[in-house]
Amino acid sequence: MDVAKLKTEFLEHLEVERGRSQKTISNYDHYLSVFLDWAKIKKAEEITDNLVRGFRIFLNRFEDRNGKPLKKVTQNYYVIAIRSFLKFLAKRDVKALQAEKVDVGKSPEREVDFLDNLEVERMIEAATGTGLKSLRDRAILELLFSAGLRVSELVSINRDKIYLKTQEMSVRGKGSKIRVVFISDTAGQSIARYLEKRRDIDPALFVRDSKSMEKFKSKDASKNGNNDDLRLTPRSIQRIVKYYAKKAGIMKDVHPHTLRHSFATDLLANGADIRSVQSMLGHSSITTTQIYTHVTNQQLKEVHKAFHARRRNKKA
């Protein structure tokens, strides 16, 4: 069967049966297209162990225009896409290489950038003022840190889905999985002050500034019928986070995900178990959550130094 047609069916399978996001589908499309363009094959049965091995050698030796090689983690993304495609082919009873024969290479341990509590407080305090924009930005920063949200989860929240009395809400994460997240007292207060200032009827929790609202109310905007005109985009959130990090005098390269890392790090540093953190972050695998064990490892080191060294000193 034609491998290009099978690739299209696989991408449709990801969208319909697996409920993957358009971004994920686009990534898989890219990885598989590069593989198939390199392989120059027409049929799925031509995907062999030797072919995949040759492609992995190609990826490992590849250099961009600046002479930089592909990172190991990026190489693994290609391999993961190929494995997923092969699993799909097996379910369709299409003859091809068994997915189990394709091993994913070991990625180097990720270094997690996070802010300490003082840096987070400085960022949040940098969002001062009583105008709609200032109140909105403070609520964004508070909620990112309070709930450990991904930026895609944050921008998709509608205000009728947030329950300030119970201080919780449901968010749709990766793979369309829904989880409950919790809102701190300060985050709830910031969101309440922001919503009191809102005068529009847009369903989105976080919307653009007043100038955009005026445009939305205009006849031209109403003719367009775009109800998402006011909803902030992930790129807008990134700009907001970077702006307040700079305003707070933080020299690190801060992204929305940095606040998610800070949330997880803060939980572990204060005694939360890793399974609870996994659940709150919405990680499907505990392995993903284990990137934060640098915190618990440091704590263990301090415990060892304090108690084991004390025991040795008593003996002396």
Active site residues: 150, 174, 257, 260, 283, 292
Helical H segments across 172-291, by residue range: 185-197, 210-217, 219-224, 234-247, 256-269, 274-281, 286-289
The first and second tokens of residue 176, run together, are: 């369309």
How far is Cα 258 from Cα 240, in angstroms, rounded to an integer? Answer: 13
Give the HSE-up count for residue 139: Cα atoms under 13 Å, Cβ half-sphere: 27
Q: For the chain, report the end-to-end CA distance as a whole number of angstroms.
A: 77
Non-local CB neighbours of 128 within 8 Å, separated by 6+ positions: 134, 138
Quote the distance between the C-alpha of residue 12 and its chain's center: 23
Helix (H, G, I), strand (E, B) or coil at 293: helix
What Rg do the C-alpha atoms of the chain give, in angstroms?
24
| Whole-Å CA distances, 153 to 61, 64, 266, 269, 282 | 37, 33, 20, 25, 11
Instruction: Give me the residues paired with residue 171 across strands.
Output: 179
How far is Cα 180 from Cα 170, in angstroms, rounded to an integer? Answer: 4
Asked if 231 and 207 touch (Cβ cutoff 8 Å), the reply is yes
The first and second tokens of residue 242, run together, are: 């970077």
Nearest to 188 by CA among 165, 154, 158, 159: 165
How far is Cα 312 from Cα 316, in angstroms, rounded to an integer? Answer: 6
